[in-house]
Structure 1
C-alpha cells in the first residue's frame, strides 16, 4: 500500500522518528541540499519541477518520503500534495519564520507572514507598507533587493536571514552577502508588543466611518462620515491592497483605509494639510505615506494602486488615476456639474459605473430633551469598478 510522509528539515538533526521512516522508504523526494544530508540507496527525485514530482508520488507504489524545509504545513508542500489528492503524514520541524525571528531575538506572535514565492511581490510590498512586523518568504526575482527597492522611503528596517540552520547561515541587510533560500524580516518601530489573543494581524476595527471629531481638520473641510461609509464600501480596502487618497485634506479616508489593513498613499497639495494627515495617522497608530504636491503631476512616481479615492478636482485628475488601472475608483464632488464628466471618463476607460447623492440629516439635541434635524451639505459620489 502506498504512503507518503513529509519530513521537515531545519539544518539540524532530523525530527524524532525520521530516520526509521527513511530506512523504510522506497522513494525519497527533496531539494538537493536535503537529499545530500541523508543516506539512502533508494530512488531519489530532486525537487525542481514540483508538478513532475507530484505526478511521480501519485503513481508510486510504496512508501515515499518528501524532505522539505522547516514546517512543511506552513506555506509548504503539504498544501500542494493535498490539492493533488494525496494525504501525507507530516513530521514537522520548526518553521523558517520561527528560526528567523529567534535569530534576532524578537517575538513573532504579532508578525504578519506573507509569501512572495511564486506570487506577485507587490501584495507583499503593500503588506510591508501597512504593517510594522512582517516576515516575507522570498524567491529569486522576488527577493530582498527587490523588496528593499519597492520599500524605498518607507521607515522600515530590513533583515535577511538566509541558509537557516546551515554552517554558512547569514544575517544581513538587503545589500549584504545573503543566499537563497531566505526569509526577509521587515520591521518598523521595535516597540514592545502588548499581550495578544490572536497571532498575526489583529481583527479589523470595531467601527469605521468615524465621526469628524475623531480627526484634526480645518474649518470642517473633511469628508463626512456618511460619505466615508459609502466610499469605504466601494473601495473595499484590505490587506495587500494599495489605496490612493487624492486631495486627502485631513486624511480621514486614508486613515480609515489604513485601519482596515490596506497600504495607503495620501496626496495633498497643502503643506499644512500634509502635516495634518500625518498627525491623524499617528493618532490612530497607522502608517500612511504622505506625498505633497498637486495631482495629477504628483502621481507620476507612485506605485500602482488597487483602489483610488478622489476628493474633488477636475476630470484630468480622474483620467490620470485611471491610466494606472486601479480595480476600484470612488470620487466625491460638491458640485453636480462634476458628475457627468466623471461618469464619462470612467465609462470610456471600461469601468462599470454608479453614483448617488448623499445628504444626511443628523439628529441635533434641543432644550427639553427633544431633537431637530440638522442638514449636511449634499455630496455626489461616483464610483467605477473594472469590468
Structure 2
C-alpha cells in the first residue's frame, strides 16, 4: 500500500494521514517536506528529485515486504504539495503501481489557495500546466480567457510568461511559498524549494518579465480584471463552446458586404480547427468575422488588417461577441515577422501580394493554412505556395444559393458569389526507424 499525503499549503494533516506517516517504513518527499514532517526514526527516506529513480526505489521497497506477514508491513508514504491528484504525483504512481494500491489524502491545491487569497471563485478558471511543457499553450490560453491559473516550472515561470504576454492588458498575480513562511510548492507547478515568506503580488506582464522570481513560485494567475466575476456556473472550467458558429453576416459590423460569407466561414472553420491553447492568425481580417469565430471556439487570435477603419471594425465585432482578439494594424507579409508563430492561419485578403503572404504564413503555420479568394487566376499561385512550403493541399469551389422572398409569398434562390477555398495541412512528422 502506498499512502500519498498532500501538504504544504498550511492545512494540518488529518488524523488518518498522521497515523500512516507514523507507521511508515519508507517516506518519499521533497527535502522541505521531509524536514517538516514527524517521521518515525525507523523509516527510510528518499529525497524526491527526478521521478523515475524514486519510483524504482518504491518498487524495490515493496518487493522486499514479506507477503506472509501482512500485519507487520510498514507502508510507503509519499509527501507532496497541495492536492497530489491535481497535476501531481498520483498520476505517475497510479500508472506504475495501479490506483487500487494508493490511498490519497489530498491537501488544498496551490490554485485553490491562490484564488482564496484574492477572494475569488475559481470554478470559471482555466488551469494549464507549463511544468515540463511548451509555454506557448499556457500563453495562448491566457490570451484567450479572462481567468487562468498557470502551474509554472523551470524556464516557464512568471518572467517567461510575462515576456510572452507583454503586449496584453492582463494582470499577473504571482503566488509564492503559499501556506508557509518556509515552503514553496513541489506540486507540478513548482519551480523548486522555497525561500522566505508567502507572497502574493500583482504585476503587469512587463514587470513580471523584468524580475528574477526565484525558486518559490507556486502558481501564476493571469486575469482580465474587468471580467474576473462571472455569472453562476453549472460546469467548471472554460465556458462551453458556442451553440452555433458560421454566424450570419448580420451578426457582424461590415462595410459594403465585405465579409466572409457564412457558407465559406463554416468550411474555413472546419479546416482551421481553432481550439483552446492554440493561436490563429486572420490575415486581411476585414470585418474580423473569422477571427471572432475562432476566438469564440477558444483559440487565441491575432487579426492583421491594413486599414484603420478595418482595425476599429474588428475590435468592435470582438467586443460585441465578448471575445479577445489582438488586432495588428499593418500590411502582410511585412508585419507578420513580429507575431508569435500560429497553429493555423486564415487568409482572406492580399491582392497582388497574396502568393507572398501565403508563402510567409505556410512556412510558419504549425498545422494548417486556409485561403479564400474570388479570382480564378490566383488559385495556381496559392496552391503552388502551399505545396512549396511542404503542406498537403486541397480545395473546393463553393457556390451556394440562398432562399430569398419574392412578392406574392413565393421564394426564389439567390446565388452568392463563388469563392475558391484552398487549404494546406502540414503532414505529421515521420518517426525514425519506421520502414517506408
Contact 1:249 1:277 in 2 (8 A): yes
Contact 1:266 1:291 in 2 (8 A): yes
Separation in structure 1 between the aligned mates of residue 145 and residue 245 of structure 2, nearest angstrom: 19
1:276-304 CA-to-partner distances (Å, cap 9, x unmatched) read 00000000000000000000001011000
Q: Which residue of 2 aligns with 1:171?
A: 200
Report matched runs for 1:251-262 at 5 Å. Answer: 251-262=288-299
Deviation of residue 11 (structure 1)? 3.8
**310, 317, 328: which one aligns with 2:357:** 317
1:310-346 CA-to-partner distances (Å, cap 9, x unmatched) read 1132100011112214311100011011111111111
Separation in structure 2 between the aligned mates of residue 26 and residue 222 of structure 1, nearest angstrom: 69
Deviation of residue 166 (structure 1)? 1.2
Structure 1 residue runs of 4 or more that deviate by more than 3 Å after TM superposition: 175-179
1:204-254 CA-to-partner distances (Å, cap 9, x unmatched) read 000000000000000000000000000000000000000000000000000
Q: Which moved more, 1:6-15 or 1:41-50?
A: 6-15
Q: Which residue of 2 aligns with 1:280?
A: 317
Query: Does residue 82 in structure 1 map to residue 81 in structure 2?
Result: no
Deviation of residue 116 (structure 1)? 0.2
Separation in structure 1 between the aligned mates of residue 401 and residue 266 of structure 2, nearest angstrom: 15
Report matched runs for 1:341-380 at 5 Å. Answer: 341-380=381-420
Query: Does residue 69 in structure 1 map to residue 109 in structure 2?
Result: no
Q: Secondary structure at the match of 1:233?
A: helix
Q: Secondary structure at the match of 1:323?
A: helix
Query: Does residue 47 in structure 1 map to residue 48 in structure 2?
Result: yes
Query: Does residue 161 in structure 1 map to residue 175 in structure 2?
Result: yes
Separation in structure 1 between the aligned mates of residue 145 and residue 335 of structure 2, nearest angstrom: 24
Separation in structure 2 between the aligned mates of residue 353 and residue 339 of structure 1, nearest angstrom: 12
Deviation of residue 258 (structure 1)? 0.1
Q: Which residue of 2 aligns with 1:189?
A: 225
Q: Which residue of 1 aligns with 2:32?
A: 33
Separation in structure 2 between the aligned mates of residue 257 and residue 6 of structure 1, nearest angstrom: 41
Contact 2:159 2:213 in 1 (8 A): no
Q: Which residue of 1 aligns with 2:71?
A: none
**2, 7, 12: which one aligns with 1:9:** 7
Deviation of residue 121 (structure 1)? 0.4
Separation in structure 2 between the aligned mates of residue 141 and residue 307 of structure 1, nearest angstrom: 26
Separation in structure 2 between the aligned mates of residue 139 and residue 360 of structure 1, nearest angstrom: 51
Deviation of residue 347 (structure 1)? 1.2
Separation in structure 1 between the aligned mates of residue 136 and residue 20 of structure 2, nearest angstrom: 40
Separation in structure 2 between the aligned mates of residue 141 and residue 219 of structure 1, nearest angstrom: 48
Normalising by structure 2, we get a TM-score of 0.86
Runs of at least 5 residues in structure 1 that lack an aligned partner in the other structure: none
Deviation of residue 56 (structure 1)? 1.7
Contact 1:58 1:86 in 2 (8 A): no
Q: Secondary structure at the match of 2:318?
A: helix
RMSD, matched Cα: 1.2
Cα gap change, 1:11/1:96 in structure 2, threshold over 3 Å: closer, same or farther? closer
Q: Which moved more, 1:266-275 or 1:315-324?
A: 315-324
**116, 119, 129: which one aligns with 1:115:** 129
Q: Which residue of 1 aligns with 2:184?
A: none
Separation in structure 2 between the aligned mates of residue 77 and residue 199 of structure 1, nearest angstrom: 23
1:329-368 CA-to-partner distances (Å, cap 9, x unmatched) read 1000110111111111111211111000001100011233
Deviation of residue 58 (structure 1)? 2.4
Q: Secondary structure at the match of 1:281?
A: helix
Q: Secondary structure at the match of 1:17?
A: helix
Contact 2:9 2:110 in 1 (8 A): no
Contact 1:237 1:257 in 2 (8 A): yes
Query: Does residue 297 in structure 1 map to residue 334 in structure 2?
Result: yes
Separation in structure 2 between the aligned mates of residue 212 and residue 11 of structure 1, nearest angstrom: 51
Q: Which moved more, 1:322-331 or 1:19-28?
A: 322-331
Q: Secondary structure at the match of 2:225?
A: coil
Q: Secondary structure at the match of 1:60?
A: helix
**234, 246, 249: which one aligns with 1:209:** 246
Contact 2:158 2:213 in 1 (8 A): no
